[in-house]
């Protein structure tokens, strides 16, 4: 089986809107509607930085169900090569390679006939996919109610602060925003979760919980909601970064890593993940997030031993079947043999 090849389309940047906190919303011209997707989906963007192609996954901040052109909202991270490049150097008229939108498991299937209560917990740039969904639910589902608990360092750091306030004014009976600021010592912890649920009980039988923020917030909110018995199909957590893992075994320095279906071979330098051992951008393997979240770099472990890292994107069944994420897995044996997966 040969590695999957995905098509990226050259899309012109139509406009760039600066957001708070070193972030910008980049809207693309997509006359042939090649991006598509749904609220909560993500796109992979390929950009050239210093002569090298880099791919990153970004949540859509637009709402496809409302006919909006595709947009991503990018927050500049210290050391974030692609995010810094896009926020600081991208200009309207630039052409960027963008792949069709893909579902990452953070979607609620917006529908006109639905009646539900949606609780959203967001912090920082975690608001991006939630904004995409909230905008769509409020516009399309007239019987649905949305509660958003949104954390930022200061009021001035809030991405989409203006649009959220406008939505709350337009839908006073159906949308409530509660704000918390870490600069004032406030945290989205289990008490904050409980306060929201007690102060705004569900008004429908169908209740959803959406969580997207830094790893610590995600863990806390998810743990609290699970302890309250929230079923897994109604609790969606979007993760941008895998947490650090303590006590990981020492990788095998100099391991030979082979992709058997195309006989591509590489050598792992100390601590290198399998993807980099195979050449990173030059590897035949497809990849995007490089953090175990999007699942695109998966491969089957045919021989050898690896430390799987934290493979968020894999189910337990996939892990038991020997699937690894090459962007987070490291070799533990002298030879590792992989096979590409579609």
Give the nearest distance from C-beta 286 to ligand FES in angstroms.
8
CA dist., res. 288 & res. 102, Å (int): 12
Residue number with CB closer to ligand FES (207 or 325): 325
Give the nearest distance from C-beta 249 to ligand FES in angstroms.
20
Give the nearest distance from C-beta 53 to ligand FES in angstroms.
14
Give the nearest distance from C-beta 205 to ligand FES in angstroms.
36
Residue number with CB closer to ligand FES (197 or 325): 325
- Indicate whether 43 belongs to the interface with ligand FES (CB under 6 A): no
CA dist., res. 168 & res. 145, Å (int): 11
User: Binder to ligand FES among 313, 323, 324, 338 (CB under 6 A)?
Assistant: 313
Give the footprint of ligand FES on residues 320-339 (CB under 6 A): 325, 327
Residue number with CB closer to ligand FES (159 or 236): 236
Residue number with CB closer to ligand FES (225 or 297): 297
CA dist., res. 208 & res. 224, Å (int): 14
Residue number with CB closer to ligand FES (124 or 242): 242
Nearest to 217 by CA among 152, 164, 161, 313: 152
Give the nearest distance from C-beta 242 to ligand FES in angstroms.
9
- The sheet that has 323-325: what strands, in order across it? 264-267, 256-259, 335-340, 298-303, 323-325
Residue number with CB closer to ligand FES (70 or 295): 295
Residue number with CB closer to ligand FES (225 or 285): 285
Give the footprint of ligand FES on residues 265-304 (CB under 6 A): 287-290, 292-297
C-alpha 328: how far from chain center: 16
CA dist., res. 100 & res. 36, Å (int): 6
* DSSP one-letter string for 208-240: EEEEES-HHHHHHHHHHHHHTT--GGGEEEE-S
Give the nearest distance from C-beta 125 to ligand FES in angstroms.
17
CB burial readout 157-190, b (16+ within 10 A) else e: bbbbbeebeebbeebeebbbbeebbbeeeebbee
Residue number with CB closer to ligand FES (46 or 290): 290
H-helix or E-strand containing 132? helix 127-140
CA dist., res. 276 & res. 157, Å (int): 35
Number of chain residues interacting with ligand FES (CB under 6 A): 13
What does the DSSP 8-state code read for residue 155? G
C-alpha 206: how far from chain center: 25
Give the nearest distance from C-beta 310 to ligand FES in angstroms.
10
Give the nearest distance from C-beta 278 to ligand FES in angstroms.
12
Site residues for ligand FES per CB under 6 A: 287-290, 292-297, 313, 325, 327
């Amino acid at each position: 089986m040969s590695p999957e090849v995905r098509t990226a389309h050259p899309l012109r940047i139509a406009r760039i809107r600066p957001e708070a906190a070193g972030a910008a919303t980049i809207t693309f011209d997509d006359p042939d509607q090649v991006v598509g997707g749904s609220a909560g989906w993500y796109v992979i963007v390929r950009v050239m930085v210093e002569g090298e192609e880099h791919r990153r996954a970004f949540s859509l901040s637009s709402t496809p169900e409302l006919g909006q052109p595709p947009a991503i909202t990018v927050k500049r991270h210290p050391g974030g090569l692609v995010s810094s490049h896009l926020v600081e150097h991208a200009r309207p008229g630039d052409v960027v390679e963008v792949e069709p939108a893909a579902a990452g498991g953070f979607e609620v299937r917006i529908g006109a006939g639905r009646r539900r209560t949606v609780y959203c917990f967001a912090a920082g740039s975690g608001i991006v996919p939630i904004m995409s969904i909230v905008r769509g639910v409020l516009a399309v589902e007239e019987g649905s109610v949305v509660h958003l608990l949104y954390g930022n360092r200061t009021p001035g750091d809030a991405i989409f602060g203006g649009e959220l306030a406008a939505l709350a004014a337009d839908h006073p009976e159906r949308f409530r925003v509660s704000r918390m600021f870490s600069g004032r010592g406030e945290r989205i912890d289990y008490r904050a979760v409980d306060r929201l649920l007690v102060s705004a009980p569900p008004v429908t039988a169908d209740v959803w919980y959406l969580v997207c923020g830094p790893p610590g917030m995600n863990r806390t909110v998810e743990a609290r909601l699970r302890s309250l018995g929230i079923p897994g199909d109604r609790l969606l957590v979007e993760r941008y970064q895998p947490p650090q893992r303590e006590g990981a075994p020492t990788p095998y320095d100099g391991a030979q890593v082979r992709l058997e279906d195309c006989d591509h071979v590489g050598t792992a330098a100390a601590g290198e993940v399998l993807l980099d051992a195979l050449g990173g951008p030059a590897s035949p393997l497809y990849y995007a997030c490089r953090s175990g979240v999007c699942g695109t770099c998966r491969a089957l472990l045919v021989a050898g031993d690896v430390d799987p890292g934290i493979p968020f994107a894999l189910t337990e069944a996939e892990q038991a079947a020997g699937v690894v994420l090459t962007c987070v897995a490291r070799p533990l044996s002298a030879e590792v043999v992989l096979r590409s997966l579609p």
